[in-house]
Every structure is written in C-alpha cells, then in structure tokens.
Amino acid sequence: MATPARRYRYHEWLGGADPLAAPPDLRAALDELGREVMEGSSPQAALRELMRRGVEGTRGLDDLTRRVWERRSQIQRRNNLDGTMREVQRLLNEALTAERRELFPNPSDDARFREAQLDALPSGTAAAVTELAEYDWQSTQARESYQKIQDLLGREMLEQRFQGMKQAMENATPEDVQRIRDMLSDLNSLLSAHAAGQDTTEQFQEFMRKHGQFFPENPQNTDELIDALAQRSAAAQRMLNSMTDEQRAELAQLGQQAFGDAGLGAQLDLLDAHLQQLRPGEDWTGSARFRGKNPMGLGEGAQAMADLAELDALAEQLAQSYPGASLEDIDAEALVRQLGAESGVDARRLSQLERELRQQGLLERAADGSLRLTPKALRRLGETALRQVVDQLRGRGERDSDKAGAAGEPTGSTRAWEFGDTEPWDVSRTVRNAVLRTASSGGGRVRLAFEDVEITETEQRARAAVALCVDTSWSMVQDGRWLPMKRTALALHQLISTRFRTDALQLITFGRHASTVDIGELTALEGAWEQGTNLHHALLLAGRHVRRHPDAQPVVLVVTDGEPTAHLESDGEAVFNYPPMQRTLGKTLVEVDNLAKLGASVTVFRLGDDPRLAHFVDVVARRSGGRVIAPDLDGLGAAVVSDYLRNRRQR
C-alpha cells in the first residue's frame, strides 16, 4: 500500500520568537555571570550587568537605552510645532493674492470696497482667517485656498485626537464632515454616561456598530476606548503646553474655522474635558522643547509628543531600576516602532536569555529572595575552569590531567561518552538509552546514536585528603588575585568531583580568621576590607580534615600573597599585628610540623614578590618536605592542579 504523500503548508512569519534564530549561548552567558560573581558581585547584580552589556551578537540594555535617548533628542532637535500655522499663513497669502488679482482690473466701486476690506484685515493670521469667514470671494482660486484652510484645520484637529484621521478626511465631503459630527456627539454622550456611573455596555456596542471604522485599535469596551483616546488627547495637550501663549491663542481661534463649523471645535473641547476627568492619571501638564527647523502640523506634533512619552517609558523599562523589574516588562513592539526591528530582536533575545538561565536551572532563589548560582551552574563554571587549566597543562607537555583516573578499578558508576574517552562501554546502559530514546520519539527500529553511549568509570585505588587553603585577605582583591584564586578552586573542585570522586576535598579560606566553605560559598564570596593573614588557623583546619581521613594520603595546598600576620589564641581570639610577631610565625610553623607528622607535605603557591613572604614559605617547604611554586596569575590554576596530580602519581 502506497504511503500517502506528506503535505506542507507555508505562510508568512507573523512575529514572536524567530523559529530559525540560534538558541541563546548559555555557556558564554554563564561564564560571564561566573566571572562577575567570582569578582565579588552578587548573582543578581551579575545578571543585571550581563543584561546591561549584552552578549555576542546581541546589544545590551545600555546600548538600547543610549539609542532611545538619541531618538528622543533627535525628535526635539529636528522639529518645531509651527507647521500648521505656517501652512495656514501660506494658504491665506495665496487666497489674498488671488483675490486681489481678480479685483484689480474691475473698475466698480464694489471691487474697491472689497479691496479696502482686504487691506483692513488684522495682522494676526488667526484673526484674519476668522474675519474672512463671511467674506464673499470673487476669485474661484481664492475661495478654494480659503476652503483648504478650513479643511486643513479640521483634519489637523481630528488628527490630534484620532490617529490616521488626517488621511481619512482627505478631500472630505459635507457628508463626511456630518459623519464626524455625529460620531463626536455620540462619543461625548457615551463618555458622559460612563462618567456618571451608568452601565454603558449596550451604548458602547451601538456606538462601535455605527462608528467603529474610526477606531482601528478595536476597543472591546468603554474603558479600552477611553484608554486609547486619553493617551492621544494627553499627547495633544502636552503639545499645546509646549507652545507659546500666542501660538495657543491663535490655534484656539482658528479651531472655530475647522471645516467651516464652529460646533466641531466645541465638540472636541468637550471630548478633551471628558477624557481629563476620566483619566486624570495621564500626563496632561507635561511639555517639551522643540528647537529644529522641520515644521510639524498639529497631528504630527501630537504624534511626536506620544513618541516622546513612549520613549520615556522604554527608557524606564530598559533601566530595570524599579522593584520587581524584569526584561519581560520591555515593550518590544514599542521598541520596534521607535528603533526598528533589530532592537526588538535584541530585547527579545535578552529576555529569552534571562528566562533560559532560570528555566535551565542555572539561577535559583535563595530563602531570603536573592538570586544564587545553582549546583548545576557551578558545575558548568568548574568545567570551564578545568578546561582552561587542561589546555595550559597540555601546552606544557602534561597530558594526563583530563584522563586522570581513567585506568584502574571500576567505580561502579557510568557517564556519558565524550570525544577522546578510552574507557570500556557499559553495554547494557548504552542499549537501554537507545531503546528509551527510540520509544520517546514514536518507536521504530532501534539504532544506536553517539549520545546513547555510556562508559564505565574507573579510578586509581589510592585516596587523598586534599585541603586547599586560599588567602582571602584584602590584598588578594586589591592586587587582582581574587578571580584567579576562585577559578583555581573551581578547577580543582571539578577535577576531584568528576575524576577522583573518592578523594576528599576541603576548601579553606583565611583572612583574619579561617573557615571551611563549600564551592558555592567560595564562588560567591565577596572581598572585604579585613586585615590579617591567619595561615595558622587555616593549617589547624587542614589538619582536622586530614585526621578525619586517616586512610587517605594527605595533600595540603596553600595559595597566598602575604606572610602570616595573625594567629589564633586558645580562647578563639584572632590576634593581628604587622609586621608579624614571632609568636604568629612560631604558632604557624608548629602547625606545619604537625601536618608533617601526619605525612602531609605543604605546597605553597606564592603570589607576588614580597621577599619576607618568599623567605617564610621557603622555611615552610623545608620543614614539611613540600615545595614553593611562584606562578603568574594566569598559570595559578594549572600550577595547583599539576601539583595535585603530581602528588597522586607519587603515591
């Protein structure tokens, strides 16, 4: 039986998430987040900084905000608000010139009387237009020019309140003007009833049935209709507020000539009054300064004020400075209107990136409501840190760091195959993965894919009790050693947790006091102004960790940039002094000796060129049978991991 042909349907993409767009680069974003967090930022601040800067291929909030303010400034620098008055003046001059040209050859007294009337017109444009309302034009061209003034005023005044009305009323007939009068009358009646608290559901439906073509926003009820009208009316009022008193007075006078019907202006004034009463929260008092040379009409001016308000709202959304702010708040459609399609894409990508970081389990809310990196995120950061270390070690000819523990006894666990793995396949789990994957996709023949393969993990039998002691005194922050120190800890933690799972790693920080921390606490640790380098306390905690694992080979690693300046007294009080007291140095060396008795050699990673520190750590190395390594900051992680692996190989 023939298989029926598949049918495909294609249609225009109508917006929303681009189905062909590349997914957000979560690893790159997480690396950026991790770098900020390890430098001392909170995850919330780090996420905000990432969104501000953007990621590769996507502009950040700062760039979008800059473009919003440039667009706002551009509107005000290029335009002015006297476009309607200029056009009315031009048409008036055109009408008067044509009329005088018609009267000049006429020898009658009536012609001379009409010329006198024209000569006696007020100097103001609005007053002259009003004076000529009852004038009996002799020139057909002059009559048409004056009619254009009335039509222009009508269209501009409607465009102020109803976007798109200017084009709709082009070449308006008396019937069109009457329809507008009827619509305004019904609209004011509807708003009056709504303001009085009456149920206007049926009245609204009847109004939309008769006049819905004037409202492309397609409001669904009276409140939605009021919202749409109030925003435009408020923009028109802000435009009037931006004019001089003289300009406002002239426009008010000219409004009586809209379509040659003084009643139309009165209806519009009543509409504005209703809207101000119903939506007092709109900005009815604002203004803006326009200082350009491009003249705008009343409708264009109202649209410019609406654009400025929209740009102000976008700037606030992009700033994300209000409580509960989220990138979901950004009006992408408004961003497209003001800055173009690319800016809308950037905003959607940033919002998607923020959402994916949360949905993929890389960020979570702590009990106090703050954001923090999840264990999954810390693992990814550790993978990145370890990968960088491995690359450095390979460059130095050391090739066993990523394969450490690959040969030896099975651990009883498996993991997904990665390129370059040589461990034996776990056949049963590999086949099971293929069956489950095939079943979840709808059945069919079972075929192995590389993502189905799992390998048997192995490890060497020897265990290690590893204490990594890292200096967290202020000098580590001040001299740019804070981030390399954290990356080193991440790399070592990742190596041990994935390749040497039976090893016991203890992370110890020491400043004025020492304390044990987990990898999440160390990653998020903020630098603080604190005097004191209490290596004595750190080695005490390292000894406690070693004693808890008597069957393991002890490994003690110390990262520091300063000689000991604090020690712990028997009552738990930390005593600080600079330069170091002999008692501080003595108590520290006692703990070095105690570790040596437990079989632990102390490897010190000396940062900086302090000669006093160099002398002290040489003493530590001699007394414990350890080593002193002085790496540069970029090589710190490789040095620590390499020394850890060297200790394992010696066992």
Buried b (16+ CB within 10 A) or exposed e, 476-495: bbeeebbbbbbbbbbbbbbb
The residue behind tokens 């069956």 is 435
Please count the CA atoms within 13 angstroms of the CA of 317 that sit on its side-chain side.
Answer: 19
In the beta sheet, which residues pair with residue 363? 373
Say if residues 479 and 539 touch (Cβ distance below 8 Å).
no
- Series of mean pLDDT values for 10-residue runs along the chain (651 residues): 56 52 65 70 75 84 93 92 89 94 92 92 89 91 91 84 74 82 92 94 94 88 93 90 88 79 82 93 90 88 89 90 82 91 88 78 67 72 70 57 46 75 81 83 79 76 85 88 86 85 92 91 79 93 94 91 91 89 93 93 90 92 90 85 77 54
pLDDT at 589: 94
Alpha-carbon span 539 to 541, nearest angstrom: 5
Among 639, 642, 563, residue whose Cα is nearest residue 605: 639
> Which CB contacts under 8 angstroms, 24+ apart, belong to 60-68?
60/350, 61/318, 61/319, 61/320, 61/350, 63/346, 64/318, 64/335, 64/339, 64/343, 64/346, 64/347, 65/315, 65/318, 65/319, 67/339, 67/343, 68/311, 68/314, 68/315, 68/318, 68/338, 68/339
* HSE of 54, CA atoms in CB hemisphere, 13 A: 17
Domains and CATH numbers, the chain: 175-278 (no CATH), 410-458 (no CATH), 464-649 (3.40.50.410)
Q: Which amino acid type is present at position 188?
A: N
Structure tokens at 84: 């309607």
Reported as half-sphere exposure (CB side, CA atoms, 13 A), residue 30 has a value of: 26
Note whether 495 and 644 are within 8 A (CB).
Answer: yes
User: What are the beta bridge partners of residue 416?
Assistant: 454
CA 565 vs. chain centroid, Å, equals 44
Give the Cα separation of 594 and 92 in Å (integer).
104
What are 399's two structure tokens? 């090739």
Task: Look at strands 553-560 and 602-606 and give their pairing.
Answer: parallel
SS3 473: coil
Q: In whole angstroms, what is the distance from residue 471 CA to residue 561 CA?
A: 7
Quote the CA–CA distance of 384 and 491 in Å, as a whole number: 8
Q: What is the DSSP string of 181-241?
A: HHHHHHHHHHHHHHHTT---HHHHHHHHHHHGGG-TT--SSHHHHHHHHHHHHHHHHHHHH
C-alpha 484/C-alpha 488 separation (Å) is 6
In what side-by-side order are the strands of the sheet with 602-606? 514-517, 504-510, 464-471, 553-560, 602-606, 628-629
**Cα(566)–Cα(534) distance, rounded to whole angstroms?**
5
pLDDT of residue 368: 65
Tokens for 60, please give them. Answer: 């950040």
Q: Please state whether the predicted TM-score (pTM) of the whole model is above 0.85.
A: no
Question: What pLDDT is stored for residue 404 in this prediction?
Answer: 41
The SS3 of residue 427 is helix
pLDDT confidence of residue 178:
87
Question: What is the rounded distance in angstroms from the CA atom of residue 567 to the CA atom of residue 538?
Answer: 10
d(CA 615, CA 628): 10
* CA separation for the pair 308, 346 (Å, rounded): 21
Residue 405's pLDDT is what? 40
Cβ atoms < 10 Å from Cβ of 255: 20
Which tokens belong to 197? Answer: 């608290």
In this structure, are strands 58-59 and 79-80 parallel, antiparallel, or unpaired? unpaired
Q: How far, in Å, CA of 46 to CA of 54, rounded?
A: 12
Q: Cα separation of 196 and 151, whole Å?
A: 34
Q: What angle do CA 255, 259, 262 make, to 5 degrees?
A: 50
